[in-house]
């Protein structure tokens, strides 16, 4: 006897409601795949991602993790030097 679509829907909904260990493992694996999918935007384009897009992503990641923090610390150091220069100039003006 062939199955009706309503029978299939009832079976699948019953399987989702049952607290089965294999079912929870499937949910965990599915949620991990979804989080990987959401975290890596290149996966949004499917399998055939252009190499230029991959290169852009890797250079952006390296800039965000290496260059930008280094530049931020340089800016901080430069501000500290500017303060020292202002103080030294102020001392010179007072010494005159």
Q: For 13-59, how does the pLDDT look when each residue is reduced to its tens digit (9 = 90+)? A: 455 445 555 555 666 566 666 666 677 888 888 888 889 999 999 99
Q: Which two tokens stand for residue 17?
A: 């409601």
pLDDT category, 5, cuts 50, 70, 90?
low
What average pLDDT does the structure give for the chain? Answer: 77
Q: For 47-91, how does the pLDDT look when each residue is reduced to its tens digit (9 = 90+)? A: 888 899 999 999 999 999 999 999 999 999 999 999 999 999 999
């Amino acid at each position: 006897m062939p199955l009706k679509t309503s029978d299939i829907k009832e079976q699948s909904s019953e399987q989702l409601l049952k607290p089965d260990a294999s079912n929870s493992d499937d949910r965990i694996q599915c949620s991990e795949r979804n989080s990987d999918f959401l975290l890596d935007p290149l996966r949004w384009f499917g399998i055939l991602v252009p190499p230029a897009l991959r290169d852009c992503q890797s250079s952006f990641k390296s800039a965000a993790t290496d260059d930008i923090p280094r530049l931020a610390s340089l800016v901080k150091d430069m501000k500290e030097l500017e303060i020292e220069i202002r103080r030294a100039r102020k001392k010179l003006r007072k010494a005159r």
